[in-house]
C-alpha cells in the first residue's frame, strides 16, 4: 500500500514501475480476520480486505508485477497477463545440516507470536502434543500471555524467547522435526525456507506447502492424528546426506542471486 501510493497519486511520470507482490493482499487480510478472536479486529480486517480488492486495480498502471509463489503467480497472471513474473522469495541462505541425536524427541515451531495466524497454529500444536511423548518447543522473539499460560500446563511443552538468530540456529540443530501448520494459503512462508535450509525433517499442512514447488521436501499432515502419525514415523528415521542433497537440488530455483539477476534483466533489458 505505502510503496504504490506514488502511482495512485500520479506522482510517477515517464518512468517504468514494478511492484513486488508479497501475497494477494485482500486474501491475506481475509485470512487474518478468520484467525482473529477479537470482534473489533475481525471486523477491521474484513473491511480492509474489501478495500484492498478495489485498490488492487492500481496494478493495471504498472509495467511489471513480481509474484512470490506459483499460487499467487497464477492469480496475477490471469488478471494482469504478461506483466506477472514469478520471482521466488528472497531469504538468507544458511546451510546448517548438523545431524544430532534425536533421543530427546524434540519438535520445533518458530514464528512471530504477534501474528494471529501463528497464535492459532501454536494452539493447534499444543492440542496435538500436550499428551504425547514428544517435547514441543515454541520459539518466538515476542511473548503472548495466553500462550504462556497454556504452555505452563504441560511439562513436555516449553517456550523459548529468541534474542538473536543464533538462538534459532541452535534450535534448528537440536530439533529432529519442524512442525509448520498454517491456516492461510498466502505467499510463501519464510519459516518454511528457513527450516528447509537449516532444519531437519518437516511436517507441514497443505496450506503451508501447496503450490510452492516444495511439497515433496516435507511430510504432509492436516489433522491432529496425521501430525502424530508422521511424528512417530520421522523419529524412527535418520536425517542423512541423501535427504540434504535432494533438498539442495530442489532449492536451486530459490537462489536469491538468480532471482535478483532475473529482476535486473527484466527491468533493464
Residue 96, pLDDT > 70, answer no
Identify the residue whose cell numbers are 496435538: 128
CA 119 to chain CA mean position, Å: 14
The whole-number pLDDT of residue 233 equals 96
Domain locations in the chain as residue ranges: 5-87, 106-251
- The whole-number pLDDT of residue 95 equals 63
Q: Is the pLDDT of residue 167 over 90?
A: yes
Beta strand pairing status for 157-161 and 106-110? unpaired
Rg (CA), the chain: 20
106-251 CATH pick, 3.40.50.2000, 3.50.50.60, 1.10.240.10, 3.40.1280.10: 3.40.50.2000
Average pLDDT over residues 90-117: 78
Does position 158 have pLDDT exceeding 90, yes or no?
Answer: yes
Band the pLDDT of 102: cuts 50, 70, 90: low
223 vs 173: which has the higher pLDDT = 223
Distances (CA, A) of 204 to 131, 154, 182, 233: 20, 23, 8, 14
In whole numbers, what is the pLDDT of the chain averaged over residues? 90
* Phi/psi of residue 137, nearest 5 degrees: -110, 125
pLDDT for the residue 85? 96
Per the document, the length of the chain is 269
Given a contact cutoff of 8 angstroms between Cβ atoms, the answer to whether 129 and 136 are in contact is yes
Residue 213 confidence (pLDDT) = 84
Q: Which residues pair with 159 in a beta bridge?
A: 138
User: Per-residue pLDDT tens for 54-90?
Assistant: 999 999 999 999 998 888 999 999 999 999 999 998 8
Amino acid at each position: 500500500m505505502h510503496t504504490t501510493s506514488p502511482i495512485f497519486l500520479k506522482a510517477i511520470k515517464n518512468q517504468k514501475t514494478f511492484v513486488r507482490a508479497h501475497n494477494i493482499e485482500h486474501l491475506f487480510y481475509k485470512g487474518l480476520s478468520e484467525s482473529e478472536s477479537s470482534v473489533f479486529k475481525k471486523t477491521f480486517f474484513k473491511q480492509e480486505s474489501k478495500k484492498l480488492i478495489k485498490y488492487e486495480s492500481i496494478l493495471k498502471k504498472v509495467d511489471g508485477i513480481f509474484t512470490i509463489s506459483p499460487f499467487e503467480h497464477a492469480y496475477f497472471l490471469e488478471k494482469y497477463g504478461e506483466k506477472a513474473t514469478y520471482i521466488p522469495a528472497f531469504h538468507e541462505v544458511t546451510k546448517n545440516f548438523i545431524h544430532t541425536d534425536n533421543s530427546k524427541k524434540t519438535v520445533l515451531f518458530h514464528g512471530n507470536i504477534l501474528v494471529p495466524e501463528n497464535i492459532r497454529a501454536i494452539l493447534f500444536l499444543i492440542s496435538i502434543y500436550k499428551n504425547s511423548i514428544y517435547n514441543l518447543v515454541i520459539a518466538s522473539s515476542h511473548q503472548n500471555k495466553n500462550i504462556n499460560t497454556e504452555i505452563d500446563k504441560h511439562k513436555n511443552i516449553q517456550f523459548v524467547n529468541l534474542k538473536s538468530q543464533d538462538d534459532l540456529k541452535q534450535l534448528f540443530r537440536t530439533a529432529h522435526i519442524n512442525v509448520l501448520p498454517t491456516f492461510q494459503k498466502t505467499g510463501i512462508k519464510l519459516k518454511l525456507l528457513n527450516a528447509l535450509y537449516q532444519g531437519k525433517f518437516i511436517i507441514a499442512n497443505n496450506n503451508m506447502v501447496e503450490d510452492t514447488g516444495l511439497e515433496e521436501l516435507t511430510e504432509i499432515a492436516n489433522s491432529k492424528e496425521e501430525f502424530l502419525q508422521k511424528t512417530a514415523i520421522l523419529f524412527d528415521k535418520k536425517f542423512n546426506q541423501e535427504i540434504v542433497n535432494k533438498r539442495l537440488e530442489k532449492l536451486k530455483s530459490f537462489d536469491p542471486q538468480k532471482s535478483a539477476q532475473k529482476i535486473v534483466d527484466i527491468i533493464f533489458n
